[in-house]
Amino acid sequence: MPVPLSAIATKDAFVAAVGGCYEKSPWVAERAFAQGPFASVTSLAAAMKQTLANATDDEVLSLLRAHPDLAGKAALRGDVTAESAAEQAKAGLGSLTEAELSKLTSLNERYTAKFGFPFILAVRNASKRVIFAALERRMAGDLVEERAEALAQVHKIAWLRLLDSVEGNGKGFLTCHVLDVASGTPAAGMSVTLTRLGDHGDLPSSYAFTTNEDGRLDGPALKGPDFCAGAYEWTFHVGEYFAAKGVATAAQPFLGDVPIRFGIDNPEEHYHVPLLCSPWTFSTYRGS
């Protein structure tokens, strides 16, 4: 369970809570603590990132080297941090075939031989296919590029662990806006549902809305503790909307219920996800 920011005001509590975000390197949290107190997980993460930017090359290298091989011997014998084990399991690395395991081991070894540190990838949202594609691509890079890429992955891993450890400041929220580009007006009266994908324990998982005269919802679709990082899906009832307006469509309309699946990476930010639609097209984007 994530703890509130207010509960990590002492150095000991801070390091206990977030010392594991950077693999086997609590020194990152120890040094970052001085930059607190932090008003947000976002600024806490930035402080730890800055700490690494200020660290020596050797310190960074030792951090990179502290990571276990993906699906490597350490993982096989259970000798990795709990965080690593959970992340690797989620990416399906526990279910590799013999051939895949052997290929991965060999690629890992070649990678480590070339760069001097293991191949690191934030695997929680990665599939096996992505992992192999990334390994092959990054194997071809040069050391300078690859150190930068490995460090970028380390920060991603730390961010995901941090969100599991500390509650956000509750300032983020989710909105949408539906425009009817066939008539050049807001789409009023459209039914919209929002579903949280994946496992989020006791949180509600589905919400129903109707757009107002301006094509928006009356207030945020999600905010506060309900608005956590993860994958979500809107369903916009576009077919119903046009049918109710009397727009002529086919017996089997081209667009009926339109799902829009998207991810929330930072629950302290505003996510605006508009839909532009006619009976024959739709588009979406991260708005502001």
Residues carrying an active site annotation: 67
Q: Which of residues 170-199 bind a copy of itself (CB under 8 A)?
A: 177, 179, 181-186, 191
Of 113, 157, 101, the closest CA to residue 139 belongs to 113
- Check binding of 61 to a copy of itself (CB under 8 A): no
Nearer to a copy of itself, 219 or 263 (CB): 263
Q: Which of residues 108-147 bind a copy of itself (CB under 8 A)?
A: 122, 124-127, 129-130, 133-134, 137-138, 144
Inter-residue contact 237 to 277 (CB < 8 Å): no
- Check binding of 206 to a copy of itself (CB under 8 A): no
Going from the C-alpha of 90 to that of each of 67, 83, 223, 255, the distances in angstroms are 17, 11, 27, 34
> Which stretches does DSSP call E strand in 121-197?
173-180, 185-186, 191-196
156-179: b (≥16 Cβ within 10 Å) or e: bbbbbbbbebbbbbbebbbbbbbb
- Provide the 3-class DSSP secondary structure of residue 271: strand
Q: How far is the CB of 284 from a copy of itself (least distance, A)?
A: 6
Strands 270-278 and 173-180: parallel
Q: How far is the CB of 118 from a copy of itself (least distance, A)?
A: 18
Nearer to a copy of itself, 207 or 282 (CB): 282
The single residue among 30, 100, 149, 164 that binds a copy of itself, judged by CB under 8 A, is 149
How far does CA 126 lie from the centroid of its chain?
A: 11
Nearer to a copy of itself, 13 or 152 (CB): 152
Q: How many CB atoms lie within 10 A of CB 23?
A: 21
Nearer to a copy of itself, 104 or 229 (CB): 229
Q: Binding string to a copy of itself for residues 259 to 288, with x set by CB under 8 A, is what?
A: x-xxxxxx---------x-xxxxxxxxxxx
Strands 222-223 and 173-180: antiparallel
Say which residue the tokens 């107190």 belong to.
37
- Check binding of 54 to a copy of itself (CB under 8 A): no
- 117 phi and psi, to 5 degrees? -150, 160
**Residues that bind a copy of itself in the complex, under the rule CB under 8 A:** 122, 124-127, 129-130, 133-134, 137-138, 144, 149, 152, 156-157, 159-160, 177, 179, 181-186, 191, 214-215, 229-231, 233, 239-240, 243-246, 248, 250-259, 261-266, 276, 278-288
